Structure 1
C-alpha cells in the first residue's frame, strides 16, 4: 500500500497548478500562432518533467510503484493522442483562429483535469469499498474496446454533441470570434462568442474520454496518487503535442485499432484481478511490467504499420474512432 503524505499531495498539485498557470498566462498575455519549434520545445519540456517525476517517484517509493506510474503515464499519453484527433475536429468544425487555439486547449485541459480528479476520487473510493468494481471497470473497458474497433474508421459528430446543441439552443451566440473573448456585448445585448461553445464541446468530449481513461489507468494501478499523477502529466503535455503533431495525425491510421487492443487487454487484466481476489487466488494476474511491455509493443506496431500504410497508400486517412455509429442524416439535422 502506497503511503503518500499530505505534503507530497500538496506539492504535486501545486506543481501541476503552476505549470497550468504558466500555460494560461502564455496563452492570455500573447495570443499567437504556435510554431513547430515552440511546440517541440514545450513537448520535450513536459516529457522531461513527467520522466523526472517518475524517476524521483521510483527512487522515493520503490521500483514497483515507479513501474506502475510509467505504465499509467504511457496508457494516458496514448489515449490522449486520440483526444488530439477530436480536438482537431473541433477546431476545424468551429473554425477556431490559430491565435486562440492555445487558449482553448489550455482551458480544455484545465476542465479535463478537474473532471478526472473527481472521477479518480470516486473510482478509488468505489474500488476500496467494493472489489467487484474491478469486474465492472473491466467489462466497461472491453465494451468500449469493441465499440471503438467497430467504428474505428469514423469521426465523432461534434455538432451532434448534446452539450453543444443545448448551448446553441439556450445561449445567444455571435457569428464571429471577438478578440478571444468568451462574452461580449452586441448593440447593448450581452452575448457569448463561439469560443465558449468550443470550450463546452471540448469539456464534454473530455468527460467522455475520462469515462474510459480512468478505468484504464486503474487497470495498471489501484493507487489514487499514481492515477492522478499519470493523468495530470499526460494532459499537461497535450496542449503542446497538439501543435506539434496535428499535421501528422492523419497518418496514424491504425491508432484506433491499437487503442482498442490496449483497452481490451487492460479490461481482461482487471477481470483477472477481480477473479483472483474474489473467486480464487489461483487465478493468475497480469503483472505490471508485462502490461507495460504489451502497451509499448502495441503502440510501436500500430505506429510503424500506420506509417508504412500511408507511405504505400497516400490516400489513407486516420480517424479517431467513435463509440457509436452515426445514423444517416445526423449531420443534416438542425442544431
Structure 2
C-alpha cells in the first residue's frame, strides 16, 4: 500500500469516521460543462487534505468546518453498495456512466479499511454498468482485477489527477495523497491492464504549478495515458480564504501574484461560477494556458478525452437469469 513517500512521511492527523445513512446515494446533475450526469461518493470529507479542494464547502452543510474538519471528521457510507443495487434495479432506471470521485476521492486512505468503493465496483461489474473514476491515490491498483475486466468490455475508464511533479510542493499542497511519481506508476499499471487512463492536471495554480503543464503531459504520455485534461484553480466560498492563508504561509513571495492571476482568469473575480468558464477561466491568461495545452497534446499524440463507455450491456440486478432466455 506504498503511497510513494518513503523515506519522507506525509503529515498525519488523527481522523474520526462516522457512518452516514441515507435513502439514496446516486446524485444527478444537469451541468453542461460536466461530462457525466450521475455520480456516487462513498465518503464525505477527504483525508488527502488538498488545500485547494473545491468540495471543502460541502462540510459546512453538516455543521463542520471546511478546514481541518473536512480532512479529519469523515463520513463513510457502508450502505452505498446496497442502495446502488436497489437504484439500478428500479423500473425505468436509465443507464449512463456513473462517476466515482466527483466530490471526494473514492480511494482516500480510509478506503483501505472500509472497502466501500471496492463493493460499489462489484455491484457495477455484476450489472455491466459503465463507470468512470477520478483519484489521486495509487490504492486504485488494488481493484485492477475488476477494472481490467470492465475496461475490456468498454465499461470503465480512470482519471488520475496530478497537480505537480514536485514532491516538496505536493507534500505541502496535498499532504496525504499519493506522491506524484507513485500516481504516474499507477497510470502505467492501469494502462498495462488495459484500462484507459486520462491524466488530469488539476488544478493548475497560476505562478505555482502552471509552468509544469507541458512536463506533466509529457509524463502522462510516457506512462501510457491515452488522454489528458486540465482544470484551472477554483476557489469557491470558504476555499478562497483557506487557500490564501496557506499560500501566504508557504509561498509569501508568490501569494499576491498568484491570486492576481486567478482573479484575472476569472473575469475580475476570485471565482467565476459560470458554466463553460469556471473550470478553464477566461481572458488572456486562460487563453494562453489553453493554447499551451493544445500544443502539448499534439506534441505527445494525446487526445482530450478517453474512449467513450458503452451502456447497452447493462443488465439490471435481479434480471440476469431472465436475460438467458
> Aligning the two structures, in what range does the TM-score lie when normalised by the shorter sequence?
under 0.3
Tell me which of the two structures has the higher relative contact order, counting C-alpha pairs closer than 8 angstroms and 6 or more residues apart: 1
Please state which structure has a larger fraction of its residues in strand.
Answer: 2
Q: TM-score, normalised by structure 2?
A: 0.28
Structure of larger gyration radius: 1
